[in-house]
Amino acid sequence: MNKPNLLYIFPDQFRQMSMSLWNELLFNKHCSGVPDPVYTPNLDSFSQQAYLLPNAVSNCPVCSPHRGSLFTGQYPNKSGVPLNCNSDRIISNLPINITCFTDILAQSGYHVGYIGKWHLDLPTPNAPDRPGEYVDPSVPAWDSYTELARRHGIHYWYGYGTFDNHHNPHYYDTHGVRYEPHTWSAEHEAEKAISYLKNEFGEREVGQPFALFVSMNPPHSPYQSLNDCREQDLKLYEKFIDEQLLVRDNANLDLDKASSARYYFANVSGVDQQFGRIIQALKDIGEWDNTIVVFTSDHGETLCSHGLTDAKNVIYEEAFLVPFLIKDIGQSLPIVSSTFLNSADIMPTVLEMLGLKERLPSGITGQSKAPFILDNTRSEAPTCALYIRNLDGDKDDNGKVISYFPQSRGIRTDRYTFALTIDRDMNLDDMLLFDYKTDPYQLADISWQCSASLAKELLTLLAAELSRIDDPWAQQRILDELLPYPNSKEFQ
């Protein structure tokens, strides 16, 4: 039998609630609150032949840290990418010498393709068409050009660093040639993915299994006007008022951002359509049954929930949870898996499902959840997912960020969301505790002092996870008086 292929599609800032599949009887009870009134028929269809993981999270819910974990199988403290990458954050840069997801695939005989947003490099003045200059003229520079030495085994490259202009994207190909297609980015990326799958221009080696990653920018901001989405997608939502779109109980309709919901949802539906086109191409080439297909996202989007204007980097469900659907080879039925999936778990999980478990690097802190996804009855399954929030730390004399401040850590269990936040002096600043089974919108913060046994359980779980991944909180014994790190005094 031929080796299974991999198709991994991950739009940016696509929140878990924004899938109409939640209206299906099989899935509805697993949605955290009321789902968004979106139209995603292709994801709905895909879900009927895939595993759905409602407990999938983006541990550090911003773009670069999630991607760093995805490609290294490490949490942000060891991936090399603790913060969103820009030219001022010299601490955040995917290491050249680390073994990545794509390296393993290439070493295992796969032809590896990458299309779209990368956002894992420290931008440097290396524009291939303008030697000595940054790709991005802004200060700090965010966009970047990924040189061959930094592509980690990827053979076919059609990508960029990060650039948020959906109708005017740009890309660099395998040889560093720049392209500006002047079309909606997700649609163009779907065209390139379809061409890769069909091998229309010899993009990949015939006879080799393929692994294709497609990273779409929408529905990432901006989403403020028709300039940010396609007109045909906006028509699905233009007749609705804000109250009919922002249906979650924690949404603040008084925010200026409320009027943007229709544009966000338009991008969601547009991405769904492009996903469907790529899936159809996979079927057209006869590789559907022999391909593991993943649909997920970097992180979610608050979209006015909790009165926040920032889309991400919080433990609230809207930002922390991500869609995660994975179709195994030959799968024909839908299955809901309650497995907790962290960002760092994705690489070892998918590699095990591809039959490449033995090629995993030693010492990674991500864990394969394949056994628990494939057998949901296993009793020893992990019981929580980890939350991480990092901010800029110290700066050098040139104003460059040379460390990160580990501001908040938390966990999500099968019932509770719990987070601790510290100030810059490493003292407890805030504590959040929600029972999302009775309070799915996280509106009622429970006093952790109300139940000593619950507090001890959650603090013990958090301390164990932080120690397991060798997080700075465990290394520095942060809040040691509360968190019972191994070999520290027991919580009283």
- What tens-digit pLDDT sequence spans the chain (492 residues)? 589 999 999 999 999 999 999 999 999 999 999 999 999 999 999 999 999 999 999 999 999 999 999 999 999 999 999 999 999 999 999 999 999 999 999 999 999 999 999 999 999 999 999 999 999 999 999 999 999 999 999 999 999 999 999 999 999 999 999 999 999 999 999 999 999 999 999 999 999 999 999 999 999 999 999 999 999 999 999 999 999 999 999 999 999 999 999 999 999 999 999 999 999 999 999 999 999 999 999 999 999 999 999 999 999 999 999 999 999 999 999 999 999 999 999 999 999 999 999 999 999 999 999 999 998 777 777 899 999 999 999 999 999 999 999 999 999 999 999 999 999 999 999 999 999 999 999 999 998 777 788 989 999 999 999 999 999 999 999 999 999 998 754 443
Would you state the structure tokens that stand for residue 410, as one six-digit string? 């938390």
Using DSSP, state whether 371 is helix, strand or coil.
Answer: helix
DSSP β-bridge partners for residue 387: 410
CATH number of 5-374: 3.40.720.10
As a whole number of angstroms, the distance between CA 392 and CA 77 comes to: 14
Q: Fold identical between 5-374 and 385-475?
A: no
As a whole number of angstroms, the distance between CA 165 and CA 162 comes to: 10
Would you state the structure tokens that stand for residue 401, as one six-digit string? 């960020």
Phi/psi of residue 171, each to 5°?
A: -145, 155
Q: Which residues contact 44 (CB under 8 A, 6 or more apart)?
A: 19, 20, 21, 24
Position 26: which residue type? L
Peptide bond into 222 cis (omega under 30): yes
CB distance 163 to 143 below 8 Å: yes
Q: What is the largest CA-CA distance in the chain?
A: 66
- What confidence tens digit (pLDDT) does each residue in 217-233 have? 999 999 999 999 999 99
CATH domain 385-475 topology:
Arylsulfatase, C-terminal domain (3.30.1120)
Using DSSP, state whether 66 is helix, strand or coil.
Answer: helix
Domain limits, the chain: 5-374, 385-475
pLDDT on residue 488 = 52
| CA triple 235-238-240, angle to 5 deg | 135
